[in-house]
Amino acid sequence: MNEDDKMKVLIVNGPNLNMLGIREKQLYGNRTYDDLLKCIDKWAGELDIRADVFQSNHEGAIVDRIQQAYGAYDGIIINPAAYTHTSIAILDALKAVEIPCCEVHLTDISGREPFRQISYAGMACEQHFTGMGFEGYHEALRWFAGEK
Ligand code: DQA
């Protein structure tokens, strides 16, 4: 497919996801952030999606990136990591740009500590994939590709 005709999806990953493969392996597994990027690249290619991936440890940088997506992307897949449970600014940015959004979490946040039970960003998302590890990003891409 011509590059210009492809669906454009922005994938936003929040703080400490760059530490995959090092951080709390019992929860997040042995695979690294680089491994995740390779998987996303492969899945996006198979689904004819142009996926741009952004990771930041800074809330304001994530808000800035979401704002820049306005008018430029067909969808957003977001794992705000710890900001999921605290950031009304990210929720407001997602609402502001009015781009269809899907929330992903590697772990099942509903089965974890009480402070992880609330997802602010999730309130702006039409779809949610949690507790599936890397596969959650695959499901999110498939959802945007209309395969679900
Ligand atoms: C996470 C869950 C969050 O509670 C946590 O702060 C993370 C990762 C997940 O993908 O399971 O950093 O978003």
Q: What is the CATH number of the domain that holds 31?
A: 3.40.50.9100
In sequence order, the 6+-apart residues with CB closer than 8 A to the CB of 99 are 10, 69, 70, 73, 74, 75, 76
* Ligand 1 contact via 16 beta carbon (within 6 Å): yes
Q: Is 83 a catalytic residue?
A: no
Q: How far is Cα of residue 102 from the mean position of the Cα atoms in its chain?
A: 7
pLDDT in tens, 12-63: 999 999 999 999 999 999 999 999 999 999 999 999 999 999 999 999 999 9
* Ligand 1 contact via 31 beta carbon (within 6 Å): no
Predicted TM-score (pTM) of the model is 0.97
Q: Which domain holds residue 108?
A: 3-144
What ligand 1 atom has the least distance to the C-alpha of 14?
Answer: 12
Give the chain's domain count. Answer: 1
| Contact yes or no for 103/83 (Cβ under 8 A) | no
Q: Could you tell me the distance, in angstroms and rounded to a whole number, from the CA of residue 93 to the centre of ligand 1? A: 19
* Ligand 1 contact via 81 beta carbon (within 6 Å): yes
Q: Is 28 a catalytic residue?
A: yes
Q: How far is Cα of residue 65 from the mean position of the Cα atoms in its chain?
A: 13
State residue 78 phi and psi, 5-degree precision. Answer: -130, 130
Q: Could you tell me the distance, in angstroms and rounded to a whole number, from the CA of residue 4 to the centre of ligand 1? A: 33
pLDDT in tens, 74-92: 999 999 999 999 999 999 9
pLDDT in tens, 102-111: 999 999 999 9
pLDDT at 1: 80
Mutate-to-test residue for ligand 1 from 20, 24, 56, 106, highest number of ligand atoms within 8 A of CB? 106
Average pLDDT, the chain: 97
* Ligand 1 contact via 128 beta carbon (within 6 Å): no
